[in-house]
Structure 1
């Protein structure tokens, strides 16, 4: 064997080893996107606002934690968070606190809702969240859509809690489900004031001004609406809990960074 052939053999072996190593090496993880600097964690602006982030838990209309929710942290655009702080200061003086169920929502979470709505066989949470609505109508009745204002960062799902706040008992999967429009002492326990329905109730009784909702329940809805409107938020007719800060800093951008502290690390 000549020196030249030996060198060729060594080079060929080295090339083969490199090829095997490259094939067996795990692909480099793509870094998760982070929030723009205009986003903050609500707790850094107002730590007194109660947070009960439902989509990181199985207690929601899907029945499992939702993709994109990594930690129970409310993330919002800075202007929206500061506006909630202003509303909270006034409410605390009257013996109430705001409580958020959802804030910024990643596009991947919205995609999860869409995929779930298309699966007509998955109705494990129907008894609580959409007892009178056929699942095949969720898109037509606009309970589910391919885009959500939450993904723009200035919308919140929110309610009121009378102080001192009692803790909400944890949800235990498998427990008997009760319709979201049942009397407050029968449906899933929530430390919020009685709004007539629970959060994410797919029913016309959730319409803010539904004429069937009267008395204390109607007064509570109007109290929440008035407090948030005074701080710059606008509600929608279909959901008593949904409000958007105006003007939105990102009116046409739908973000997809995860709901996690690291997404807004260093933002103030």
Structure 2
């Protein structure tokens, strides 16, 4: 029996036993990550203009992140695991409202808007973003158990070098790429192994993207705002 199968019920019980606060997410079954994680850092790109669109994204009214209780409990286990090696999580995105995904689709359909191309997709023609799976009509993030993240040194907060940045569209961001150094590969593998140990599965095209295997809402795409 895997670690996640043995201890997830206990972690869920601990989360569910916490008293509800006034600032709980609008949807039941979800929690703010800053209420359950201890050492994580946050860089909520879609609440500001530092993202591939270049402006705040619809549905992100505040720079906080939300996940389902089950995914949050598993992420607590990841955090505790990594702390033993002097590492912490830096989290970019969690639950993503469907309205945000719709805004990404509208942006991707506008060939004239390439203001962030040099930083986020310099080697990709914007017209291929749908075909290559970087933009989709629906996102696993909207089901509430997918998270985008990296690793930082727990003391300094400095990010480990992963060979490409979060949301960089291109082959260098793929798992297993030969375009990065041995140390960058090791850093990605440290994150991947920690996430695998606690029930998450990776997305092959994005080293930062993980989904809880036993996600509680596999067929539901939510649209409540992050606020």
Aligned-pair CA distance for 1:239: 0.5
Q: Where do 1:61-210 residues align within 5 Å?
A: 61-166=52-157, 191-210=158-177
Q: Distance in 2 between matches of 1:59 and 1:67?
A: 14
Q: Extract unaligned runs of 5+ from structure 2.
A: 1-24
Aligned-pair CA distance for 1:45: 1.3
Aligned-pair CA distance for 1:93: 1.7
- Rg larger in 1 or in 2? 1
Preserved contact between residue 37 and residue 76 of structure 2 (Cα < 8 Å): yes
Deviations 1:109-146 (A, max 9, x none): 00000000011000000000000111111111111111
Q: TM-score, normalised by structure 2?
A: 0.87
> Which of 188, 192, 198 is the aligned partner of 1:231?
198
- Specify the alignment match of 1:44 in structure 2: 35
Q: Distance in 1 between matches of 2:135 and 2:62?
A: 23
Aligned-pair CA distance for 1:214: 3.0
- Specify the alignment match of 1:255 in structure 2: 222
2:52 is paired with a residue of what secondary structure?
coil
Provide the aligned length of Structure 1 versus Structure 2: 203
2:35 is paired with a residue of what secondary structure?
helix
Provide the aligned C-alpha RMSD in A: 1.0
Q: Extract unaligned runs of 5+ from structure 1.
A: 1-33, 167-190, 261-268
- Specify the alignment match of 2:19 in structure 1: none
Q: TM-score, normalised by structure 1?
A: 0.74
Q: Distance in 1 between matches of 2:95 and 2:57?
A: 13
Aligned-pair CA distance for 1:212: 2.3
Deviations 1:190-248 (A, max 9, x none): x3110000000000110011122231100000000000111110001110000001211
1:215 aligns with 2:194: no
Aligned-pair CA distance for 1:44: 1.4
Aligned-pair CA distance for 1:36: 3.0
2:127 is paired with a residue of what secondary structure?
helix
Query: Runs of 4+ in structure 1 displaced over 6 angstroms?
Result: none
Deviations 1:44-77 (A, max 9, x none): 1113211111100101000001010011111000
